[in-house]
Amino acid sequence: MIALRTLWPFVRLGLTDVWRHKTRSFLTMLGMVFGVGSVISMLAVGEGASQQALDAIKRLGSQNIMVMSVKPTSEDGVSTGAQRGRLAVYGLLYDDERRIRETVPGVVLTVPARMTRRNARLGERQLELRVVETIPSWFGVVQRPVLAGRVLTEHDMLSSANVCVLTEHGVRRLLAGEEMLGQRIRVSSSVFEVVGIVKNETGGTVRAPDSEADAYIPLSTGTRLFGEANVRYSAGGMEGERVELSEIIVKMSDTDAVEPGSKAIEAVLARFHKKKDYKIDVPLTLLREAERTKRTYNIVLGAIAGISLLVGGIGIMNIMLASVTERTKEIGIRRAIGARRSRIVIQFLINTCVLSIGGGLLGLLLGVLIPVLITSATGMPTVVRFYSLTLAFGISVAVGIVFGLYPAMRAAALDPIEALRHE
């Protein structure tokens, strides 16, 4: 308590000293301001990016395994089908879905999907949609909040109804200004009734199955209208490709079953596919990778921030050394009056801390402000976490103490007789 009572005058002295040398103090603080500001804003940007990635992955479902058709890279292996050299047949089959469902342990559900790009029209308006032909369970596996109406039902499936569910992106661009539900849109040469609208995936670095303007239609309807497989010919009709299923989402019983499940799926597929014309994505693995990336990212950011704070600290130390020289006589007076060396150390430490904490607080403001600017300017998400504020503040105190110690010791080590004589 005595300590506190006797410390306060030194804090005030530090403050008045800072105030007396406004310009110098401000310039000295700049290092800390930018150091702390950059720590907070870099953490906010990193946090925002990883939050976005993690959210995207979580929405894919941590219990899910995504199996996707990919065109094999080697040309000669492509044409396993009928017309060699002209029609590339590859990708996942209904048989693959059945085999996975029947042989891989822990599988709860498999959801096949076929994706094609088709032109949609509503009156004058046109938009290229990604048409996802799938079964109603899709909406149980991939979390997608319903904004209006409903999602696909078993009844739609059985009756192969001409209904579709749109993502809000598609809605905005195609139905702008119109009554949304019940609207009839033309896709290719068929008419579909819009029965529901679901929320869009919000971008991000991780590929999501519906990150765009999507129209979901029942798989049965798709088969009836567009055929059993997605056959596409290039211009001139000389080359084409045939893909039965674009994607199979496999839902496992729990997250522990995900990794063995993905290995089993790999094994099943490898037996029936001569070429690797499929890809297996495990959101859980992506999640772990994202977390690892985040950690690495944080270390790199931390190092950069550490360097900038180091520079800030050295700047403060430099000024404090100048201040010690400047105040040599004052130190002599205080020592003559009877101040112990430790009192001088404390006084200069407090003075340094006033500078570093002052800089830290300004930097805190900057660090809260910059992420807001970044978000509004670039649309990049940023998240300022409370811990980063306390961290930055703690660091500025630590910088004050660490870099204040040397000047303070120098001040205390002065011989009072010499110091008094100093002009």
Partner 1 sequence: MSAQPTVPHGPRADEVVRLDGVTRHYRVGDETVRALDGVSFSIRRGSYWAIMGPSGSGKSTMLNILGCLDRPSGGAYWLNGVNVAEMDDDELSDHRLLNLGFVFQSFHLIPQLTVCENIELPLLYLGLPAGERRRKAAELAESVGMEHRLRHLPSELSGGQRQRVAVARALANDPAVLLADEPTGNLDSATSVQIMALFQALYEQGKTVIVVTHEADIAAYAKGCIVLKDGRVQQVRGGA
Choice between 291 and 330, CB closer to partner 1: 330
**Min dist. Cβ of residue 399 to partner 1 (A):** 24
List the interface residues with partner 1, window 8-37 (CB under 8 A): 8-9, 13, 16-17, 20
Residue 415, Cβ density class (10 Å: 0-12 exposed, 13-18 middle, ≥19 buried): exposed
In the bound complex, what is the minimum distance in angstroms from residue 20's beta carbon to partner 1?
A: 6
Site for partner 1 in 387-416 (CB under 8 A): 416
Residue 379 CB contacts under 8 Å (≥ 6 apart), including other chains: none
What's the min distance (Å) between Cβ of 361 and partner 1?
Answer: 23
Confirm or reject binding of residue 4 to partner 1 (CB under 8 A): no
Rg (CA), the chain: 33
Taking the C-alpha atoms of residue 114 and residue 220, their distance in angstroms, rounded to an integer, is 11
Out of 46, 334, 349, 392, name the contact with partner 1 by CB under 8 A.
Answer: 334
Pick between residue 13 and residue 108 the one whose CB is nearest to partner 1.
Answer: 13
Give the Cα-Cα-Cα angle 393, 395, 401 (nearest 5 degrees). 110
Based on CB atoms, which residue is closest to partner 1, 130 or 334? 334
Q: Which of residues 191 and 336 has its CB atom nearest to partner 1 in the complex? A: 336
* Minimum distance from residue 329 beta carbon to partner 1 (Å): 7
When binding is defined by CB under 8 A, the residue of 267, 304, 397, 417 that contacts partner 1 is: 417
For the beta sheet containing 87-90, the strands, ordered from the edge strand earlier in sequence to the opposite edge, are: 87-90, 240-243, 230-233
CA-to-CA distance for 331 and 327, rounded, in angstroms? 6
Residue identified by tokens 């009928």 is: 82
Q: Is 238 in the site for partner 1 (CB under 8 A)?
A: no
What is the x/- site pattern for partner 1, positions 150-169, by CB under 8 A?
Answer: --------------------
> Least CB distance from residue 407 to partner 1, whole Å?
18
d(CA 108, CA 254): 9
Give 69's DSSP letter: E
* Shortest reach from residue 409's CB to partner 1, in Å: 14
Query: What element of type H or E holds 63?
Result: none
Candidates 4, 5, 23, 274: give the one binding partner 1 (CB under 8 A).
Answer: 5
**Alpha-carbon distances of 23 from 27, 159, 233, rounded to whole Å:** 6, 78, 72
Q: Which is nearer to partner 1, 290 or 345 (CB)?
A: 345
The phi and psi torsions of 134 (rounded to 5 degrees) equal -155, 180
Residue type, 203: G
Nearest distance from C-beta of residue 27 to partner 1, angstroms: 19
Decide: is 325 part of the binding site for partner 1 (CB under 8 A).
no
- Rounded Cα–Cα distance for residues 289 and 292 (Å): 5
How many chain residues interact with partner 1 (CB under 8 A)?
26
Q: Which of 99, 199, 420, 422 binds partner 1 (CB under 8 A)?
A: 420
List 130, 144, 242, 335, residue binding partner 1 (CB under 8 A): 335
Give the C-alpha separation, 71 to 99, whole Å.
Answer: 21
One of 84, 279, 292, 329 touching partner 1 (CB under 8 A): 329
Report the candidate in 88, 110, 353 with the shortest Cα–Cα distance to residue 229: 88
264 vs 414, which CB is nearer to partner 1? Answer: 414
CA–chain centroid gap for 202, Å, is: 11
Contact 360, 397 (CB under 8 A): yes
**Interface with partner 1 by CB under 8 A: which range of 7-15, 187-195, 227-235, 395-403?**
7-15
d(CA 30, CA 268): 62
Residues interacting with partner 1, by CB under 8 A?
A: 2, 5-6, 8-9, 13, 16-17, 20, 329-330, 332-343, 416-417, 420
